[in-house]
Chains A and B, each alone.
Chain A
């Protein structure tokens, strides 16, 4: 009898020892057992870069954007392979996104997608709360995410780039002011003070982006080797970029840190330039006929004017012929203003196939003749005169010409500007690839990645991410910066390249679990 009790008691004890917690055979929270860091050491990862690195989106920096920044995504995955230091982020104070400087608002709140009473959706500045992030409140670092919105390649080494006193004069960056360790420090100095064991560097985008988003109104500084003289909308000289960039990487790798370099996307593949098509001038047959007649009149009147000034007929007709633009029912390319030259004395032409219009172009103006013809009563009067077979005076001819309402340079990237941007981007990317190669670092071809998103899209378990504005999923509402989903795609590509270079097995993230744009009618 006693024997039985003992047997049962032992059995009960054995069962009691069985854990209440279910245990998997290969639990991922046993660091290093499932995933390996390979030859990389992710102990202290520091991310350097610009707005893309900071997690900027929807024309602002805000908390959830920072949480979904690609460096924070990477840090979370790195931590599955080994013990790592906490990845610290200079969080904004809110999800509104605007910046204050001593109480004065200096940047706008984020954009949200608002829907009006007719069901039309449009990006609008969020007004649900006033911004509360004042750059005068300096955060205590150090911070692992050193991404500074607006920074160009040559800004990272600039001392005083985080000096509040320099913000107004454009010598310092309000975002860096918030978390610089001192007014005198530089981004690089604060990064290196942390002794990173691993870094990511995605810089150089703004060295062409400002030029592009301003419609090429800045200066292509190719040949000017002094970046101190550059304006914010200029293209950095490729030699300046090369020397700055290799200097940054030399510093970052000096203590043996591994890292990943990310190259510069083609700005012409971003939603910002691919949302308003250059042939969005959609006409019915009658309007097309009217426009064709108008430009035919312009051409004839111009030729007549030239001949009246003694230009031979053949030459006059040849020069004027470019203005006899014909329009067809359906989509037509817009008219743009160009500089007045000898070969284009009236200073306008129709856009060519590859030229681009920027996202923020005034859509209601487009609907009322911006980009084609503004038919004022005076212009119509001159047209009437011509129809009746009359000959316009010089003054009437000028009234007629003034009806041409081309798109401004700032709204358009013309073919010359595009080619300047692409030349510079290609040169920068050549440098980045060479530096990565020379230092044995991982290199991510973000240029190819985002081109892929723009052409065909990126498949994930819940569909396809494309570059289509607002609905495509890759680009936030500013058309330039990415959504959390877009940043997750970038993070996965970075992981792939790190794994390939360092023999690590960092797992990717599930792109479908990252959101896209934010809806809100809390707008004015």
Chain B
């Protein structure tokens, strides 16, 4: 009865958020429950993402981990000077993961992984005060990866593999702050591209100096997603040669930045494990969101972003309560890659404190249910995006932002 109550409570607890930019750090319930540490934790198939080098140290022949999260994330914006306020009504995001590993020999494990490390779904009220920057955006990217994990010795292994990315983007904003048709409907553009693909890779290494201590490093390459021939649909354009916005095609590119993780885990006792990860996300690559419209009459859209590299510090602990329950908790501090003055409402992210918890319930020897949740706490910030221009003049869009995010997640681990 108690267990049931516990699970019910857990399931009901709305959980919370994200990482900086449009990175979504939700790649495994067990790892997330420990603050999304895991580059040096050998536990289940979630290693396929966190550090494929560790897969070869999994004891069972076949390991599977599958799960999904529900991201409840919203933002409120307010401008005191003009008495304006807006809240996002963003759809629930559902990032997922599926990992599989197969021990081909004592020194070689092969694997497959699918996960969604990048994405963003933000929906502001249509025609809100910042509608010249964004009305809504939906960005999705699925990573599919083949993996090999090679044991060099009992102390050292490496692992990695090529990544295929398939992404889509749908973005709508008003053309400027005022242009409208005869009935006052605001002129806007929707850019839409799907089935955009690109390639990348990841490579990790694990070193076990003692049987209690593991040290890991993992690098995932930068992947620039190039959308070509996407659809650009213009709506509510006045019937005038002065506003020649006909539907056209567009080219744009969006970087999915590289990420380096290094970390360690230490088994304090049979029951207790602690882990620390450091991530560096190389956001510096995201200089500008440029949309190149193919119709030469339509000026290209240049939107400086000027992100900077960002660090994440992660801590996690695991307690094996008994044969049935394993409890986990964690914390991380996630630096925003967004610099002051570049705070665009399409990814309104400031520094986040992530609090995580979760548990695994071993249903049988082979099957566990993994649950986690994340609560992201953001400070209220006074920020602006200063690089929108009108008549050659920068027109800052400013105000107070406050975000919250809850992310409950559920997964299963299977091993034979």
Chain A contacts to B: CB under 8 angstroms: 1-2, 4-5, 8-9, 11-13, 15-16, 18-29, 34-35, 63-64, 67, 77, 80, 95, 112-115, 119, 121, 126, 128, 461-463, 485, 507-510, 512-516, 518-522
Contacts and interface: CB of A to CB of B under 8 A. Distances in A.
A62 to B, nearest CB: 9
A67 B127 CA distance: 15
Given A24-B380, A34-B83, 20 more contacts: A1-B321, A1-B322, A4-B321, A5-B6, A13-B9, A18-B16, A21-B404, A23-B402, A26-B80, A28-B78, A67-B184, A80-B83, A95-B184, A112-B182, A462-B395, A510-B84, A513-B177, A518-B182, A518-B238, A522-B182
A64 B184 contact: yes
A20 B16 CA distance: 8
B58 to A, nearest CB: 27
B387 to A, nearest CB: 13
B230 to A, nearest CB: 27
B398 to A, nearest CB: 10
A15 B241 contact: no
Q: Which of A64, A95, A510, A516 has the most CB of B within 10 A?
A: A510
B9 A28 contact: no
A9 B6 CA distance: 6
A510 B322 CA distance: 62
B385 to A, nearest CB: 13
Contacts of A518: 180, 182, 238
Interface stretch (B69-77, B213-221, B335-343): B69-77
Contacts of A34: 80, 83
Closest 7 CB pairs of A and B: A515-B178, A64-B184, A16-B13, A519-B240, A507-B83, A462-B390, A519-B238
Contacts of B16: 18
Contacts of A510: 79, 81-82, 84, 129
Contacts of B355: 15
B74 A22 contact: yes
B64 interface: no
Contacts of B179: 515
Contact of A16 (B14, B184, B395): B14
B182 A12 contact: no
Contacts of B404: 18-22
Contact of B239 (A24, A64, A521): A521
A373 B48 CA distance: 90
Contact of B76 (A13, A24, A128, A522): A24
B393 A463 contact: yes
Interface in B368-402: 373, 375, 378, 380, 390-391, 393, 395-396, 400, 402
B357 interface: yes
A507 B82 contact: yes
Contact of A121 (B13, B183, B242): B242
A24 B129 contact: no
B6 A520 contact: no
Contacts of B5: 9
Contacts of B150: none
Interface in B225-244: 238-243
B178 A514 contact: yes
Given A16-B9, A22-B402, A28 B85 contact: yes
Interface in B1-25: 2, 5-6, 9-10, 12-16
Contacts of B143: none
Contacts of A521: 239-241
Nearest to B359: A8
A507 B242 CA distance: 35
Contacts, number: 154
A512 B390 contact: yes
Contacts of B205: none
Interface residues of chain B: helix, strand, loop or mixed (majority): mixed
Contacts of A516: 178
B87 interface: yes
20 contacts: A8-B357, A9-B9, A12-B10, A13-B9, A15-B15, A20-B404, A20-B406, A22-B76, A24-B400, A26-B80, A27-B78, A28-B84, A35-B83, A64-B184, A95-B182, A112-B182, A115-B240, A119-B241, A462-B393, A520-B240
A462 B87 CA distance: 25
A507 B396 contact: no
B177 A4 contact: no
A15 B179 CA distance: 44
A515 B403 CA distance: 31
A11 B15 CA distance: 12
B347 to A, nearest CB: 15
Contacts of A13: 9, 13
A1 B2 CA distance: 12
Nearest to A473: B178
B319 interface: yes
A234 B355 CA distance: 75
B241 A515 contact: no
A18 B406 CA distance: 9
A492 to B, nearest CB: 10
B346 to A, nearest CB: 17
Contacts of B10: 12
Nearest to A508: B82
B327 interface: yes
A518 B239 CA distance: 10
B72 A20 contact: yes
Contacts of B396: 461
A398 to B, nearest CB: 49
Contacts of B183: 63-64, 95
A8 B78 contact: no
B70 to A, nearest CB: 11
A38 B180 CA distance: 36
A463 B391 CA distance: 7
Contacts of B2: 2, 5
A113 B15 CA distance: 53
Contacts of A128: 182, 239
Nearest to A96: B182
Contacts of A4: 319, 321, 327
A392 to B, nearest CB: 52
A201 to B, nearest CB: 24
Contacts of B78: 24, 27-28
Interface string B310-338: 00000000010110000100000000000
A273 to B, nearest CB: 26
Interface in B108-166: 129
Contacts of A20: 14, 72, 74, 404, 406
B81 A507 contact: yes
A248 to B, nearest CB: 30
A229 B353 CA distance: 77
Contacts of B321: 1, 4
Given A12-B9, A27-B85, A520 B406 contact: no
Nearest to B72: A20
A520 B72 contact: no
Q: Which of A9, A22, A485 has the most CB of B within 10 A?
A: A22
Nearest to A95: B183
A129 B359 CA distance: 65
A67 B9 CA distance: 49
Interface string B44-56: 0000000000000
B13 A12 contact: yes
B165 to A, nearest CB: 31
Contact of B390 (A27, A463, A509, A522): A463
A64 B129 CA distance: 17
B194 to A, nearest CB: 29
